[in-house]
A and B are shown apart, each in its own frame.
Chain A
């Protein structure tokens, strides 16, 4: 270790995170330690508004480094009957944030006696995430239909929010957004919207190696939500097993000599 260094770190104790190890971590990195990497889901999530509501979808691959940790991960989270959130980022953060949002929205509905609005979900998410300055790695697409109409909001981990007609997030978002940019039109019908969202996610599943395996869709209208999944696109289906007879016919190998041994059965036992 060449040259000492004094790191001045003065942190007020607070209720959120415990920052008492920050000075030690900085010193360790200076000595040459590699900071541990945070794991993320590696995802393609897509959402778009259409004539009657919102269609959202996500792939189902969760990665830990280069290994697929979960092939059937559920990234489409239900917040209320008419509001769903697709999540990209750190898996644990997403689960906790969506559970918290779902609970808060239910309390809101009980307190006000009205159905929760999508923008309420977005405000709760934004105010929570901004407080933690991006350390909670939750990138959400919150979409749904409420009394005012269909909405789709893109929420970032550091608290940025945007209202969008169509959006994509996650590592596969580049490939997916180019499909949406090509073919999105205002006021599409449900079949076209579902087909477009599926194509966008498939582009992400093809082009991004951290997305794949299968996809889940949810279609939300004023009547409610319909969850569809898991959908296996053609390139994700396992090839059907071919049952072949692997035994050789008698007589395939020429017999030169034959000798028969006769055994006397003293005791027999069934072995299954």
Chain B
């Protein structure tokens, strides 16, 4: 029987996890890139799985961290979207609304000492104030329930590796990169990501959300440059 010395605790260790995510505001909207693997520790356990979820024509949610927790969260988000439609068939979740809701939910669960072990990015076009005027939005939520909005983000190991790189490139163009420039930057991020992150995979998803809707591209591969291997054959 559980006594005062051994209270009921919830696990704080994620099992199958997704790694970094990269998102960026550009001239026409928001672009987001994630790789397609869930790691069980250092093993690449589940490959070819997408880590981005399209909520509606204006919002994408992407996750890093525990896969199971996110699958549950996907269900919660889908039900929230349908709840709205019960009252008004044309109603949709907005990115800011969903971000605020998920922040409260993650913080609540963290305060219960039963956290949702995910880092979430909510990316999309927000009506300001109506759907005639859509403004790009990226909201980030950490596993402890800290929510913030930003114009570019790299999570996981990418935060330490590529955050500064993304800022230098995006800020020099005042966050008004063209779609091709934004995608080129995200591709470069994925390339450096596979050089330096053990739990990364070279197949990745890249999506964009503009006022015309969500476009989730086909999965792409990055190979990178491995010429360095021919230079290094020293034994010392």
Contacts and interface: CB of A to CB of B under 8 A. Distances in A.
A184 B192 CA distance: 12
Contacts of A161: 236
Interface stretch (B4-12, B54-62, B139-147, B227-235): B227-235
B109 interface: no
B228 A178 contact: no
A181 interface: yes
A184 B167 CA distance: 20
B236 A175 contact: no
Contacts of B196: 174, 177-178, 181
Interface in B30-63: none
**Chain A: interface size category:** 20 to 34
User: A122, A153, A161, A177 — which one has the most chain B CB atoms within 10 A of its CB?
Assistant: A177
Contact of A163 (B163, B168, B236): B236
Nearest to B231: A165
A83 to B, nearest CB: 14
Interface residues of B, number: 20
Interface in B60-89: none
Given A174-B160, A207-B163, A123 B232 contact: no
B122 interface: no
Interface SS of chain A: helix, strand, loop or mixed? helix
A100 interface: no
Interface string B181-210: 000000010011001100000000000000
Given A119-B236, A123-B236, A161-B236, A174 B161 contact: yes
B162 interface: yes
A153 B165 contact: no
A186 B227 contact: yes
A177 B168 contact: no
A179 interface: yes
Contacts of A164: 232
A203 interface: yes
A118 to B, nearest CB: 10
B215 interface: no
Contacts of B157: 174
Contacts of B228: 165, 184, 186
A184 B231 CA distance: 13
- 6 shortest A-B CB distances, which residue pairs? A207-B164, A174-B160, A163-B234, A175-B164, A178-B161, A181-B192
6 contacts: A161-B236, A165-B232, A184-B228, A186-B228, A203-B164, A204-B164
Given A175-B163, A207-B163, 20 more contacts: A119-B236, A123-B236, A153-B236, A163-B234, A163-B236, A165-B228, A165-B231, A174-B196, A175-B161, A175-B165, A177-B161, A177-B196, A178-B162, A181-B191, A182-B188, A182-B191, A186-B231, A206-B167, A206-B168, A207-B160
